[in-house]
Chains A and B, each alone.
Chain A
């Protein structure tokens, strides 16, 4: 088996070009999916028979919460790659994914609180799902703070990789918290093995916004990683050429 596909990931120049090609398509897909999903979910999906219209918060809450967890798993995988193969792209991925994941966790917590008030009668309860999600926010904050606190880039990368890997133990706790402990929070909306418990006109818009959030995450992560690559590789020829090209060639020597 040829490993050239894997070794390509070690090349910042190759990744920069690939990310630049993918990014506009991801951004376009995100815009379309989110526009369809949000309009459908807000105006055309039927109201819930118990929760009325407050259930429409699901179309942001669930995608944000799913993405918050996927983003952390991605950081843990990148952490393994970064520690084992010392790949610069993986190190940058952790650094760039953390703020995006933190914002998604905060969004899931805030929309959850807003949804909890009319549904459970409380903004916040200290149950397993909500508390483990709050811990996820602290883990993200930890990765960001650790990356900023350590001046040496290699040490910072290693520390963030280790924290990402150790913290991933929280992800199954979030996932199964609604089954392991008694909770107010409802179970999973989507599962790989069962049909959703809601009618298609309710879960289809959710599928659109979930996919839209993932595409948005891809586009935003690639944008952050491309800039980080340009800055870290500022002394190499390809990065200087890319900067000159972005500046429109007007400043080319």
Chain B
């Protein structure tokens, strides 16, 4: 650990807002990249499930 305390780790030597905002944006981008295809696949499968149910009843 290169920091003496947790408070110093958060402060990042006066660069805290820069470092943490960059990592926050990075986290958001990664989460969007993972979630977007996962949600789209779920939506498509639900839609197909509805279609298959309809076809079976008809």
CB pair B29–A53 under 8 Å, yes or no, is no
- 8 A Cβ contacts from B9-46 to A: 9, 12-15, 18-19, 21-23, 25-26, 29-30, 32-34, 36-38, 40-41, 44-45
The CA of A110 and the CA of B1, in the complex, are separated in Å by: 28
CB pair A220–B37 under 8 Å, yes or no, is yes
Number of A-B pairs whose CB atoms are under 8 Å?
96
CB pair B41–A227 under 8 Å, yes or no, is yes
Residues of chain A lying within 8 A (CB to CB) of residue B52: 244, 247, 251, 253
- 8 A Cβ contacts from A116-134 to B: 117-118
The CA of A220 and the CA of B33, in the complex, are separated in Å by: 7
B interface residue count range (under 10 / 10 to 19 / 20 to 34 / 35 or more): 20 to 34
Residues of chain A lying within 8 A (CB to CB) of residue B34: 216, 220
Q: Does A84 contact B (CB under 8 A)?
A: no
The CA of A100 and the CA of B40, in the complex, are separated in Å by: 14
Which of A47, A106, A224 contacts B37, CB < 8 Å? A224
Q: Does A52 contact B (CB under 8 A)?
A: yes
Q: Does A44 contact B (CB under 8 A)?
A: yes
Question: Chain A at the B interface: mostly helix, strand, loop or mixed?
Answer: helix
Residues of chain A lying within 8 A (CB to CB) of residue B23: 38, 42, 57, 60
The CA of A57 and the CA of B19, in the complex, are separated in Å by: 6
CB pair B9–A43 under 8 Å, yes or no, is yes
Contact with B along A101-121 (1 / 0, CB 8 A): 001101100110011011000
- 8 A Cβ contacts from A39-61 to B: 42-47, 52-54, 56-57, 60-61
**B interface with A by C-beta (< 8 Å):** 1-3, 9, 12-15, 18-19, 21-23, 25-26, 29-30, 32-34, 36-38, 40-41, 44-45, 48-49, 52-53, 56
Q: 7 A-B pairs, CB-CB below 8 angstroms?
A: A42-B23, A44-B2, A54-B18, A60-B26, A115-B18, A227-B37, A246-B45
